[in-house]
Amino acid sequence: MVTAVRTLDEGAWVNVNNTRIVGVSDIWRLADHEVCDCDVALFLVEVFTDIGVDGEWVEARAAGQCIGCGERDTTGWLRIGRPDRTGTGEFRAVDPEGVHRPSKTRGHD
Ligand SMILES: [Zn+2]
């Protein structure tokens, strides 16, 4: 169960159940996005601006810059991670270097 989700240090960290899950300075590979014109943006996260929970997924929006073209913007909702399905309750963050598809609204189809 995800019981508590918040950002820390003015958006520098996403904190889930009192554990820092993801931080800024990672480069997220974004597809089907509206950040810039790159097919796959290499998005350097500078701050997490919004955070929420959709079902088992923790989602967040991030502001930053595509290092491919220099465009600055805020992403749609990105899946950050979810609890392990094996029943341990451990939270598993996604791999930023995988390809992510931001959603305009919370809750992916
Ligand atoms: Zn770009």
pLDDT truncated to tens, each residue of the chain (109 aa)?
667 899 999 999 999 988 899 999 999 999 999 999 999 999 999 999 999 998 889 999 999 999 999 999 999 999 999 988 887 878 899 998 899 999 988 876 5
> Which residues have CB less than 5 Å away from ligand 1 (the ion)?
36, 38, 41, 66, 68-69
Distance 105 CA to ligand 1 centre (A): 21
Residue 108 has a pLDDT of 62
Helix (H) or strand (E) holding 42: strand 41-54
Q: Domain spans of the chain?
A: 5-100
Euclidean distance between CA atoms 8 and 10, whole angstroms: 6
Residue 43 has a pLDDT of 98
Residue 109 has a pLDDT of 54
Give the pairing type, strands 99-100 and 27-30.
parallel
